[in-house]
RNA sequence: GUGAGCGUAGCUCAGUGGCAGAGCAUCGGACUGUGGCUCCGAGGGUCGAGGGUUCAAAUCCCUUCGCUCACCCCA
């Protein structure tokens, strides 16, 4: 008896199939090209890290860390941990309590959590900071400019533009300088990528959320103001007044919008240094002809952000309309045990970029995918050998070639070539073996005008190569 | 975690108490050295799953699972 159960992807993750994968590959290649043109270099990072890294950098109280991470324990490590405890004559199920009471499952879990706890990365800035410290990159000349690409994991309910395994490309600038020109150039880089993707319907939002000098006082002010109107706030906002007043700005409750609009703006309460930095940033954007909108409500969710925050939004997406977001995080590296370091970066959502590129319709999988240059039609065992050799030769020359494994009737073969989207059919049969000339037939797509006859010519192998290479470019 | 909508063939869907259907797609034939068109045919289903009502359930009721969108939050 075989189990007939069908396997399927788990919630929130998905397969990316051809032809869509062509568009993904194009996008990634384009992004790499743009980022490297700004002298960013790729850093390849692990998919999982110590849980503690994310807890410390992203913030233990954030949604990401408190409820969205995929955390697990390496069985070997757990085994070792238990043995080491037993070796000290301790019962692992009781040792943590210091009493003889049996431990509950959750207490045991908490105990094991003290040992190697690993987490699938929910974002990658923490990993970059870790790598920067681990490899002593502060000794490198100039700024350290890195980019990464790959999947991230967050356990959220999926919806349009949001997945549990999603893909990000991010760029980070680390070093001793926090000059606003760095921030502006990073944003400029994003706009170049948007142009390369032929996207028009996007908006750049910028803000400054101050630094440890000025933000605490502002947060307190905000809390005071919110308490005055607390009877008009919803449950979510009410809770945030105490936990994290800045988050009230994220509320989408219609009744609260008027209240939010009247709240004091953080940019009116920046210290001199932060104000200067924000003013300079906007000047730097202006001199690059990048249009921006000051969005005082833009407060990013991760604890490590300070001063500059920015976001690119698109009208083509649903509720999850952020294509990319980022900001400055000057204290992060030091907080993780590294040298005092300035830093800024962004992450862009590949899933969302692809969505918007498809909606814009300027670039498609069909237009960037690799075409099938030739389909080889062969007849009889003698022509098969010649066909195999021809296929190898054409492929060596960089052409994409398909050849049926079994002999097909000519009509069938051409029909298949057509449906596969081949640009040419090359016929190898008795006649061609005798003359040394291959019959090449130009194929037209199913949608093209049918009255055009496929022009057919007889060419030697050398001529054939030339012909296929020449007509491949359009 | 919460709410709403939706689950019938590979895809898009019709069928609202009486034999499980259509279009597209796939495969074969008409058509053994020349494609798209046309025509003919075939395969493909636990009607998401489980239970209940009924002579009879894809259809009505209950439960459950899944998907989608939205909230929360973020890329």
Residue A451 is predicted with a pLDDT of 45
| CB contact at 8 A, A49 and A123 | no
Total number of residues shown for chain A: 474
pLDDT band, residue A473 (cuts 50/70/90)? very low
| pLDDT tens digit sequence for A363-398 | 999 999 999 999 999 998 889 999 999 999 999 999
Strand B contact with A228 (CB < 7 A): no
C-beta within 7 A of nucleic chain B, residues 429-448 of A: 429-432, 439, 441-446, 448
Task: Using only the alpha carbons of chain A, give its radius of gyration.
Answer: 30
- Looking at the DSSP bridge assignments, the partners of residue A48 are A120
Sign of the four-CA dihedral A360, A365, A371, A375? negative
- The pTM score is 0.91
CB count within 10 Å of CB A407 equals 15
Residues contacting residue A45 through CB under 8 Å, at least 6 positions apart: A121, A124, A127, A128, A131, A148, A150
| pLDDT tens digit sequence for A63-89 | 899 899 999 887 766 666 666 666 555
CA distance A249 to A245: 8
pLDDT value at A437 more than 90: yes
- A349: nearest nucleotide, CA–C1' criterion: B75
pLDDT above 90 as % of chain A: 68
Burial code (b: 16+ CB inside 10 Å, e: under 16) for A221-232 equals bbbebbeeeeee
Tokens of A389: 């050799």
The ipTM value here is 0.91
Strand B contact with A409 (CB < 7 A): yes
Residue A74 is predicted with a pLDDT of 77
Question: What is the arithmetic mean of pLDDT over A27-52?
Answer: 97
- Label the pairing between strands A202-208 and A293-294: parallel
C-beta within 7 A of nucleic chain B, residues 277-336 of A: 300-302, 311, 318-325
DSSP class of residue A402 equals E
- A346: nearest nucleotide, CA–C1' criterion: B75
Question: What is the arithmetic mean of pLDDT over A184-213?
Answer: 96
Site of tokens 């090359």: A426
pLDDT band, residue A101 (cuts 50/70/90)? low
C-beta within 7 A of nucleic chain B, residues 57-76 of A: 62-64
> Would you call A391 helix, strand, or coil by DSSP?
helix
- A441: nearest nucleotide, CA–C1' criterion: B34
Mean pLDDT of chain A: 89
C-beta within 7 A of nucleic chain B, residues 152-181 of A: 154, 156-163, 166, 168
Tokens of A84: 């080491």
* Separation of A36 CA and B45 C1' (Å): 52
* Separation of A71 CA and B64 C1' (Å): 28
pLDDT value at A446 more than 60: no
Residue nearest to nucleotide B73 (CA to C1'): A63
Give Dmax (Cα) for chain A: 95
Burial code (b: 16+ CB inside 10 Å, e: under 16) for A417-433 equals bbeebbbbbbbbbeebb
- A63: nearest nucleotide, CA–C1' criterion: B73
Strand B contact with A37 (CB < 7 A): no
Backbone angles phi, psi at A203, to 5 degrees: -135, 135
With 0-12 CB in 10 A as exposed, 13-18 as middle and 19+ as buried, what is A459?
middle
* Separation of A432 CA and B33 C1' (Å): 11
Listed in order, strand segments (DSSP E) in A95-221 are 117-120, 144-153, 165-175, 202-208
pLDDT value at A239 more than 90: no
* Separation of A469 CA and B20 C1' (Å): 52
> Would you call A289 helix, strand, or coil by DSSP?
coil
DSSP class of residue A90 equals -
- Protein-covered nucleotides of chain B (CB closer than 7 Å) are 1-3, 26, 28-29, 31-37, 46, 66-75
Question: What is the arithmetic mean of pLDDT over A315-333?
Answer: 92
Tokens of A420: 């596969």
């Amino acid at each position: 008896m075989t189990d007939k159960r069908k396997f399927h992807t788990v919630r929130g993750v998905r397969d990316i199939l051809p032809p869509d994968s062509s568009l993904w590959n194009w996008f990634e290649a384009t992004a790499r090209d743009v980022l490297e043109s700004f002298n960013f270099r790729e850093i390849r990072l692990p998919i999982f890290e110590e849980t503690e890294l994310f807890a410390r950098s992203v913030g233990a109280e954030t949604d990401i860390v408190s409820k969205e991470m995929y955390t697990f324990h390496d069985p070997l490590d757990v085994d070792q941990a238990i043995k080491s405890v037993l070796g000290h004559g301790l019962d692992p199920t009781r040792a943590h309590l210091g009493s003889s009471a049996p431990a509950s499952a959750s207490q045991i879990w908490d105990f094991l959590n003290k040992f190697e706890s690993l987490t699938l990365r929910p974002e990658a800035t923490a990993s970059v900071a870790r790598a920067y410290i681990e490899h002593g990159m502060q000794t490198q000349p100039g700024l350290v400019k890195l980019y990464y690409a790959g999947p991230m994991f967050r356990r959220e309910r999926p919806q349009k533009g949001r997945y549990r395994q999603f893909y990000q490309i991010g760029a980070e600038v680390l070093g001793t300088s926090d000059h606003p020109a760095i921030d502006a150039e990073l944003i400029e880089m994003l706009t170049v990528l948007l142009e390369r993707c032929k996207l028009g319907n996007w908006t750049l939002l910028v803000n400054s959320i101050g630094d440890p000098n000025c933000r605490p006082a502002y947060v307190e002010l905000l809390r005071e103001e919110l308490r005055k109107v607390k009877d008009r706030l919803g449950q979510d906002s009410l809770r945030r007044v105490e936990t994290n007043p800045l988050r009230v700005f994220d509320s989408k409750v219609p009744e609260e919008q008027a209240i939010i609009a009247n709240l004091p703006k953080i940019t009116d309460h920046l210290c001199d240094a932060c104000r200067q930095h924000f003013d300079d940033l906007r000047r730097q954007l202006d001199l690059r002809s990048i249009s921006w909108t000051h969005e005082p409500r833009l407060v990013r969710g991760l604890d490590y952000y300070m001063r500059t925050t920015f976001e690119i939004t698109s009208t083509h997406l649903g509720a999850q309309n952020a294509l990319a977001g980022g900001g400055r995080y000057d204290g992060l590296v030091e907080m993780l045990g590294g040298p005092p370091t300035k830093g800024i970066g962004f992450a862009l959502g590949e899933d969302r970029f692809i969505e918007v590129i498809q909606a814009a319709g300027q670039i498609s999988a069909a237009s960037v995918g690799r075409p099938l240059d030739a389909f080889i039609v062969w007849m009889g065992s003698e022509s098969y050998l010649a066909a195999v050799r021809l296929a190898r030769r054409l492929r060596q020359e960089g052409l994409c070639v398909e050849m049926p494994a079994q002999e097909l009737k000519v009509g069938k073969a051409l029909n298949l070539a057509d449906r596969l989207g081949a640009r040419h059919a090359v016929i190898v049969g008795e006649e061609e073996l005798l003359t040394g000339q291959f019959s090449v037939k130009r194929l037209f797509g199913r949608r093209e005008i049918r009255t055009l006859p496929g022009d057919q010519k007889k060419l030697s192998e050398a001529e054939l190569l030339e012909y296929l290479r020449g007509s491949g470019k359009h």
